Structure 1
């Protein structure tokens, strides 16, 4: 499949990456940063894999399906971690991560 056929997924990946980057930055500004460490770590992992999968799709990588599977797993883990926190930035990240995980599963 060409990247044009994955346009919606590309937009979902980009939105998840942006939500994770925002959450990462906001978590660093929270009072108890140490408590937020798992969230911060998963935000970075998730943003990075979303960006990488987005790039892989646009270059028509033969590994898109495998990368999408890993991306779905990481997005789910990030969403589950963010769900533990009441902060608005974490809750927005939950939604983006779970949407992205579902989208990735559809091509994995």
Structure 2
């Protein structure tokens, strides 16, 4: 995590997330995220190099809304991967089978 000027910017490899302006970019490509995707990515980056469980993601991003189940985490991770990982050679979002997800450089 870096403080960059007056804005709070989180970074992992070539991915930058500006928390004040709600902007995300990977390299020189701007990435448009929904508010939920933005919250999910922020949570993953703040816990980079650590595995976060689906339950902890649900609690942080969705606050355990009654109609939300752990499967929605997998769906939103899929959305993020399409935007954050698919267009790029180096993948950042990783599944730790049976446990959850992590974001890290390989």
Judge same fold: TM > 0.5, yes or no.
no
Q: Structure 2 length normalisation: TM-score?
A: 0.38
Higher-RCO chain (CA-CA 8 Å, sequence separation at least 6)? 1
